[in-house]
Amino acid sequence: MGFFVQDLHRQIEQIYFQTQQTEKMIIYRRQGMSNVEFEKLKKSEGGLLSFNNFLSTSIDREVSFVFGNSARDDPDLTGILFRMEIDPSFSSVPFAALDDISFYSNFDQEILFSMHTIFRIGSMREIENKLWQIDLTLTNNNDQQLKNVTEFIRNEINDGNRWMLMAGMMINMGKFDKALEIYNTLLETILNGTEK
């Protein structure tokens, strides 16, 4: 799995450097989010938001409405339309326009970002019942808050057992299931006498 992730990341970088996108653009992503997570996000306006997976977006706002309709029928979900402003002259985060290589190239005008892409959270407003638009701006390497967070994580990881620290970070982020998964893996590793 790790090889696949690395290979996909390299391909995104390769496409990014080959195309040399220079114009600003607005892209969209629609998804359902748990009401609990959405309430946390609403309190983070002006902060940072990281997507912990590969991020598929579309240049066409209407295409984004085709995806992510699950929130309409689920009382535990809120629909989110992320409106993302990308300025390649301001940010060096790689992304790939998949027009020429995607099976759905004529349909969705897809832009793909690698894992852990970080955005600055802008304004939020309800645009329909149970559907909120959240404006995001792609960060750059000069973002001081991003530098501080990156440095903090780097120091935390270098100061002790990385798995324990990662589990602690998951708890701090409210991702208790992920923390439990890490702790269970550590326990199995210790019981088997193969701690890494």
Average pLDDT of 119-147? Answer: 90
Average pLDDT of 67-74? Answer: 71
pLDDT score of 84 more than 60: yes
- Position 36, amino acid: V
**What pLDDT score does 33 carry?**
92
Find the domain containing 172 and state its range: 149-191
**What pLDDT score does 11 carry?**
86
Cα-based distances in Å from 161 to 150, 166, 187? 18, 9, 13
pLDDT digits (tens, 9 = 90+) for 14-33: 888 787 777 899 999 999 99
pLDDT score of 73 more than 60: yes
What is the rounded average pLDDT for all residues in the chain?
81
Q: Is residue 144 part of a domain?
A: no
- Between CA 12 and CA 72 the distance in angstroms is 33
Q: Which residue has the tokens 């970070």?
A: 169
Q: Is residue 60 part of a domain?
A: yes
pLDDT digits (tens, 9 = 90+) for 31-49: 999 999 999 999 999 999 9
The side-by-side arrangement of strands in the sheet containing 95-97 is 48-51, 117-128, 131-138, 77-86, 25-34, 55-58, 110-113, 95-97
Together in a domain, 28 and 53:
yes
pLDDT digits (tens, 9 = 90+) for 138-178: 998 788 888 887 776 666 555 546 777 778 788 877 787 88
Together in a domain, 77 and 132:
yes
Together in a domain, 153 and 133:
no
pLDDT score of 196 more than 50: no
The more confidently predicted of residues 4 and 129 is: 129
Together in a domain, 123 and 174:
no
Q: Is residue 57 part of a domain?
A: yes
Give me the number of domains the chain comprises.
Answer: 2
CATH label of the domain that carries residue 13 = 3.90.176.10
The confidence band for 195, taking pLDDT boundaries of 50, 70 and 90, is very low
Q: Is residue 104 part of a domain?
A: yes
